Chain A
Amino acid sequence: MSLLNPELGLIRSSMFQKSILGLSALILAACSAPEAVNVSGSSTVLPAVSLAADAFVKETGISVVVNAGGSGSGFNQLAEGQTDIGMMSRDITASELEKFKTINFTRTAIGRDAVVPTISSEIYEAGVKALTLSQIADIYSGRVDNWAEFGGPDRAIFAVDKEASRGTRQIFMGVVMGNPKAETPGTDLVTGSNNEEQTALTQSDSGIGMLSFAWLNEDVRGLSIILDDGRVIAPSLENIRNGSFPFVRDLLVITRSDMKPTAQQFIDYLLGPEGQDAVEQSGYIKVSE
């Protein structure tokens, strides 16, 4: 069993001891400093919050730890007391509230965003620039599987879905399929974060998926939506601001009534001018001027 090299277990260098000492000193220091604020949840809300957190740390010296994991995970961690603030890109569902009846949750909107049906740039450039909601529903329910049906190239549609608990997915499916938790037999691939979905769509040349507005770029293009009255609504900042784009949502931070004072301080900061600038710089829309 030369795999289990015994020498590896016997690191006795002074460097090792020093680093242990250093580590314990750090831990002690962390205990006496003002309590760190833990934030976790939606990867949609994350860019704005972590940008604001950087400025907040510099200003106050209170450290803020921001983690991704998705809206569902953010809520669960908050409810189970593993984090101080949960980030959600959708509202808390009735069944989630049902599970933690004894806890009081507070939602605070820190910005607005749109979920945008997104397609690979190859399809966009081939002429598919707008679809109706029922056409998108046809793709995800598996009734249509070729771009030729929508005036695109004769190529199979590669439908990318997200994990059922993701906020982006629930907003998208809520509007398209009429049920945030709809099952989608037309799906070819399931991804998690916006980052992962963006990569999958970039690597494909005939993909469709859903991304938060801030994640669009020249490789993944936002689709315009054709409404029932024939109007075509482009995913532009203006249409999101005035609410005419169908997939607009609030970016939420969720807290419990028993939160620490530093967490409240951070939320006030998010709603203040610096926090709102961070929201805007991340590609979202402010809730207050």
Chain B
Amino acid sequence: MDATTHAAHLHETHDAHHEEVGFLRKYVFSTDHKIIGVQYGFTALLFLLLGFLLMACMRWSIAYPGLPIPVVGGLLEKLFGSDVAAGGVLSPDLYNSFGAMHGTIMVFLAIVPLAFAAFGNYVVPLQIGAVDMAFPRVNMASFQCYFLGGVVMFASFFIPGGAAKSGWTSYSPLATMADLGHRFDGQTFWLIGMVLLITSSLLGAVNFIATIIQLRAPGMTWMRMPFFCWAQFVTAFLLLLAFPPLEAAGIMQLMDNLFGTSFFLPTGLIVAGNPVDVSGGGSPLLWQHLFWFLGHPEVYVLILPAMGIVAEIIANNTRKPIWGYKSLVYSAFAIGFLSFIVWAHHMYVTGMGTKISTFFQTTTMIISIPSVIILTCLFISLWGGSIRFNTPMLFVLAFLPMFGIGGLTGLPLGFNYSDLHLHDTYYVIAHFHYVVAPGTIFALFAGIYYWFPKITGRMMNETLGKIHFWLSLIFMNLVFMPMFAQGMAGMLRRMYNGGATYATTDGEVGLPAAILKANIGVTHAAFFLGLAQLPFIFNFFWSIKNGKKVTSDNPWDATTLEWQTPTPPPHGNFTKPVVAHRGPYEYSVPGAATDFTPQSEPDKKH
């Protein structure tokens, strides 16, 4: 349990019996789940930043269409050429590229790798008392595929024609027809990148499930697993089974782009006034089906790991067990199953028949039940606790209502008749960003603040953390709340000029001035939201070297097994065989010496 000696040597944690390995083997081609987790974390955070910067450029164009982007405008013109960024003004084409890539990067290269791969890799084996993942080399390959996928996506910005510009959903036939002038266009890069990312998450998912099934420590029965591991387990199944159909669709769209097939191109397709020389006979709806068959489970891939992190931190900081542990587990499973049969609620406006719409509407309403059960359990867990308001807990406490807003505003989108009006408006943007941005990303921030001391042996600065939290909370809401109003007023998404084309001044059909004016406020809030991340970035790097050293391996007085390892954990994790003797959240057990009883602590009666 003596950590201080270990904590001091972040970069030299070699036990005597471990052979020395070179820098490359240790940090680049590592098979250690913890290093891979950190690799994933760093790469994903970089992509998170990139995704944010793309969005910032888009926000400028929405608020001030036609005006050069301040500060980075000149750079954009240099990078992308004066035909798409003349004088630092975002052209509609470049706006489309940025939009498509913002979504792709945020979902597939930032949030999922961070929530599932980074936290999962680092924490899950520790929490179940395993020495590593079941297939360490597969794990390494998973990261390498991810990295390569990221490189391909990033490189696509700089090829002739620019990156994919058909939205993150890449609907056919637009995706195939958007850039007919270039054979290897941005969309082709996008598809190749996606195939690599899908391979990566497939390898990751196989590894996670096999690890959780096979490598739980003695005594770590299924119902003694921390909820975080359960969440990752279900998430891994979603990735395993929902991604392959998108891979199939990706292969088919690649065939459409490169070999002239017509999987998603209908008969009689006319582009720019000319019939396209293809056989036709394909179905654009098929792409949408296969895309959303992944797309909807993906939403739960984004949120379940976040819920797992939230449960861990709530139990730790309320100093009492999670309320309704079993309900949480069963709800996670119910979400997992149901998430596979709700996908077509993204497709109400495609003209599906009423019967099938009703089916998907019904399943969509049903899936909100387990989500609400989880949120309710987490809320009730706060009741009667003596809450420690540290930075991770603040983020978690904000997660609850923010995710609540995101979830509840989803209901009108799940009903097909209200969706007809709201579909493709800013209301949708606001809804899913409330789920993912102040929802998932807040939980991820909480996770970083919470597990940082285990990874580095040092605490992150609390004051900076609180500044980061309060500013983020305020500006997140200022960014996304007005979008609900804009969407309900009928403002469509994906317009580079923020709907200025539809401006109306005399009260006739169109967008009233007040709605358009909100664009400017939202854009400023987004810039301030970016500034609010500076304390975090500074805190993160500063604390690696200069943060307050932890005085024990278990600085938060937590019960789960990851805190029973040395800090940081060496290769192989545990210094002595670990056995789980109790459930994951035994806080404030009456009669116990401390207000927490670690899972590895044997019962006194024996």
A, B assembled together: no
